[in-house]
Chains A and B, each alone.
Chain A
Amino acid sequence: MLALVSPALLVILLLIVLPVGWLAWQSIYHDGFTLEHYRRILSEDIYWRSFALTFEISLLVTVLALVLGYPVAYAANAVSKAWSVVILALVVLPFWTSVLVRAYAWLALLQRTGVINQFLRYLDVIGEPLALVHNTFGTVVATVHILLPFMVLPLYATMQKIPNDLMQAGASLGGSPAFTFFRVFLPLSLPGVLAGSTMVFVLCLGFYITPELLGGGRTVMVSMLVSRNVELYNQFGAASAVAVVLLLSVLLIFFVVSRFISLDRVLGQK
């Protein structure tokens, strides 16, 4: 058994354990053992603000993705097989375009002279162009778009497992469609809500390209702190420390969530 899994274990060791271990090592060792980088993260305002902003944006993106994604997953689950394939294909389609391209596409749509502003001005709804991008708004819009599949797919998988019998039973027992939805369908889809929300939230915490391009330098998320520490200040130790804190936050979230649902059951086959 061990002989069979050892190639896989070797790959994990080389590609995951070693780099992460090296990252953690760098954050605490610079000409000797030091916790200086962690002290700075805890004491300096810019770090606090960036972490707070990152969590705020992630929360907002998660809520928006849930509000937008639940009806999509519900529709894909309710319609016939052929139509659900179409809906899911439309959800997954953007996956085949690079994140960079999608970010520039949003830039083209949202900028001052972009399609949306020009259209609104043409209709005389607004006089001055709206600031739709180079701020948190633009970042959130594009991030929601990019992360939506991570919400829709676990939701859809969970909804697929809710037997249709239960909805028919709810109706036959006198439950109106709304009553049966809120008492039966919604509670049974909660594992999918939790799984999808966790995926989106965690992925959003580490988002880099989208806020970098659409945030206009004002929306500084944690991942951008990492890159700035390296690019501007050549501070690999500080960058590593920020990355480690981010990683630990993510692990903590997964740990807490796994107390409520079995993540591999929702994301995997069983």
Chain B
Amino acid sequence: MDKRAESVEIRSASKAYGAVRALDDVSLNVGAGEFVSLLGPSGSGKTTLLGILGGFILPSSGSIHFGGRDVTYMPPHKREIGVVFQNYALFPHMSVGENVAFPLRARRLPKSTWPDRVRAALAMVGLSGYEHRGIAQLSGGQRQRVALARAMIFEPQLILMDEPLSALDKQLRESMQIELRTLHKRIGATIIYVTHDQREALTMSDRVAVMKDGKLIQIDEPARLHDHPADSFVASFIGEATLLPVRRIDSCSVALGNSVLRSARAIPPGDALMLAVHSEKLLIDDGAGDGACNRLTGTVTDIVYQGESLRIFLSLADGSALSLRQPTYHEAYRRIPPVGGNLIVTLHPEDTIVVPRVD
């Protein structure tokens, strides 16, 4: 499909419901053809923002621009955006083919052109030959695909997705994530994707926007977001991190209880600081590591077998708890003491993440 994707610009959009600010002064630029996820817990304003982009909700203030045009007051049916809803929103009284042809019918395109386009759209989502099926006969995954085909058949330059995979089981969800990624590269449209699943957001997105209480906290590429969180909320929301309160010593070291940890990153100013320890960044000290590494000694309190990895829970001398992951290959088992034993772990200064604490 040959088409121009459309850039999206959100200029300090706010939405208030009475005293509640569902969306609080959010500005965000999405490049043409970019895949951006809005990630946050429920009530963070991500669905409100999607509703404003779709034209279903009028912002209290601020404006929305598609490719330079102000669309803030444009009704949804004129916006030319594909929307995939959380519960698919397929029309139950229409067949698969009629659902997919709805955008063509709404645009009064000649009826003779429908069958080819419907066939192509269904083929793109792997549902060739499903035109005459009823919606009730489809599985959750198939409904999802029909909703996708219907949202893409009119070749929108922007597609909005509201937790489209949340109703699917884990395995299907993960394979659909990879499919959506591939599909995005193929059609080249701009995609804005709402999810509360951080792994999903990291898997598919060019950039992830983390939201909380109606505010945009941080927007970055997945790796940057994961390893350089802006504050303790992002650090706790992205990845598997334990947050421990630390004291600032100088611009490159902090104190965790009695031990001093060095960081290769600039320690942010202020007193309310947290150390974010990702469980995959803690390594068991085998003596071979870099001498510059921070070392922590703890008592093993629990070992949980999770298939591809073990999660080992540690209690440090000052009582704070940490966890680390160890892949389950044969050699690794030798290094793990039994529960109650002592374990020394290393944390590289590059991986020593200190963030300001927010509530």
Chain A interface (Cβ < 8 Å from any Cβ of B): 163, 165-166, 168-177, 179-180, 183-184, 187-188
Q: CB of B165 within 8 A of chain A?
A: no
Contact A170 B81 (CB under 8 A): no
Given contacts A176-B106, A179-B106, A183-B102, contact A171 B75 (CB under 8 A): yes
- Residues of chain A lying within 8 A (CB to CB) of residue B81: 172
CA distance A183 to B93 in the complex (A): 10
Contact A184 B91 (CB under 8 A): yes
Contact B93 A187 (CB under 8 A): yes
Given contacts A173-B154, A174-B103, A174-B107, contact A168 B77 (CB under 8 A): no
- Residues of chain A lying within 8 A (CB to CB) of residue B90: 169
Contact A172 B87 (CB under 8 A): no
Give 13 pairs: A residue, B residue, CB < 8 Å, sorted on A. A165-B85, A165-B86, A168-B83, A170-B102, A172-B79, A172-B81, A172-B82, A173-B82, A173-B83, A174-B103, A175-B106, A176-B77, A188-B92
CA distance A81 to B56 in the complex (A): 18
Contact A168 B106 (CB under 8 A): no
| Minimum distance in angstroms from A140 CB to a CB of chain B | 33
- Residues of chain B lying within 8 A (CB to CB) of residue A171: 55-56, 75-77
Which residue on A lies nearest to B160, using beta carbons?
A: A172
CA distance A188 to B75 in the complex (A): 23
| Minimum distance in angstroms from B208 CB to a CB of chain A | 24
Chain B's interface size range is 20 to 34
CA distance A187 to B94 in the complex (A): 10
Q: CB of B174 within 8 A of chain A?
A: no
Contact A168 B56 (CB under 8 A): yes
Q: Considering the complex, which residues of chain B in the window 52-104 have a beta carbon less than 8 Å from any beta carbon of chain A? A: 54-56, 75-77, 79-83, 85-87, 89-93, 102-103
CA distance A187 to B107 in the complex (A): 20
CA distance A180 to B85 in the complex (A): 17
Contact A173 B150 (CB under 8 A): yes
Q: CB of B22 within 8 A of chain A?
A: no
Contact A174 B150 (CB under 8 A): no
Contact A173 B106 (CB under 8 A): yes
Q: CB of B151 within 8 A of chain A?
A: yes
- Residues of chain B lying within 8 A (CB to CB) of residue A183: 91, 102, 105-106
- Residues of chain B lying within 8 A (CB to CB) of residue A180: 77, 106
CA distance A163 to B87 in the complex (A): 10
Q: Considering the complex, which residues of chain B in the window 115-154 have a beta carbon less than 8 Å from any beta carbon of chain A? A: 150-151, 154
| Minimum distance in angstroms from B52 CB to a CB of chain A | 13
Contact A173 B151 (CB under 8 A): yes
The 6 closest A-B pairs by CB, nearest first: A169-B89, A172-B83, A165-B89, A171-B76, A174-B106, A175-B106
Contact B85 A168 (CB under 8 A): yes
- Residues of chain A lying within 8 A (CB to CB) of residue B160: 172
Contact B154 A188 (CB under 8 A): no
CA distance A173 to B154 in the complex (A): 8
Contact A163 B89 (CB under 8 A): yes
Which residue on A lies nearest to B93, using beta carbons?
A: A187
Which residue on A lies nearest to B56, using beta carbons?
A: A168
| Minimum distance in angstroms from A217 CB to a CB of chain B | 47
CA distance A33 to B151 in the complex (A): 70
Identify which of B90, B92, B102 gathers the most chain A CB atoms within 10 Å of its CB: B102
Contact A172 B93 (CB under 8 A): no
- Residues of chain A lying within 8 A (CB to CB) of residue B80: 174
- Residues of chain A lying within 8 A (CB to CB) of residue B82: 172-173
Contact B102 A168 (CB under 8 A): no
CA distance A170 to B93 in the complex (A): 13
- Residues of chain A lying within 8 A (CB to CB) of residue B55: 171-172
Contact check: which of A166, A172, A179 meets B91 at CB < 8 Å?
A: A166
CA distance A163 to B54 in the complex (A): 17
- Residues of chain B lying within 8 A (CB to CB) of residue A187: 93
CA distance A166 to B147 in the complex (A): 12
Contact check: which of A165, A175, A176, A177 meets B102 at CB < 8 Å?
A: A175
- Residues of chain B lying within 8 A (CB to CB) of residue A163: 87, 89
| Minimum distance in angstroms from B127 CB to a CB of chain A | 18
| Minimum distance in angstroms from B351 CB to a CB of chain A | 43
| Minimum distance in angstroms from B78 CB to a CB of chain A | 8
- Residues of chain A lying within 8 A (CB to CB) of residue B56: 168, 171
- Residues of chain A lying within 8 A (CB to CB) of residue B83: 168-169, 172-173
Contact B107 A168 (CB under 8 A): no
CA distance A176 to B87 in the complex (A): 22
- Residues of chain B lying within 8 A (CB to CB) of residue A175: 77, 102, 106
Which residue on A lies nearest to B75, using beta carbons?
A: A171
- Residues of chain A lying within 8 A (CB to CB) of residue B92: 188
- Residues of chain A lying within 8 A (CB to CB) of residue B91: 166, 169-170, 183-184
| Minimum distance in angstroms from A161 CB to a CB of chain B | 11
Contact B77 A172 (CB under 8 A): yes
- Residues of chain B lying within 8 A (CB to CB) of residue A173: 77, 82-83, 102-103, 106, 150-151, 154
CA distance A169 to B160 in the complex (A): 11
CA distance A174 to B155 in the complex (A): 12
Contact A172 B76 (CB under 8 A): yes
- Residues of chain A lying within 8 A (CB to CB) of residue B102: 170, 173, 175, 183
CA distance A169 to B77 in the complex (A): 9
Contact A172 B106 (CB under 8 A): no
CA distance A172 to B154 in the complex (A): 11
Given contacts A174-B80, A175-B77, contact A168 B54 (CB under 8 A): yes
CA distance A184 to B76 in the complex (A): 16
CA distance A171 to B85 in the complex (A): 12
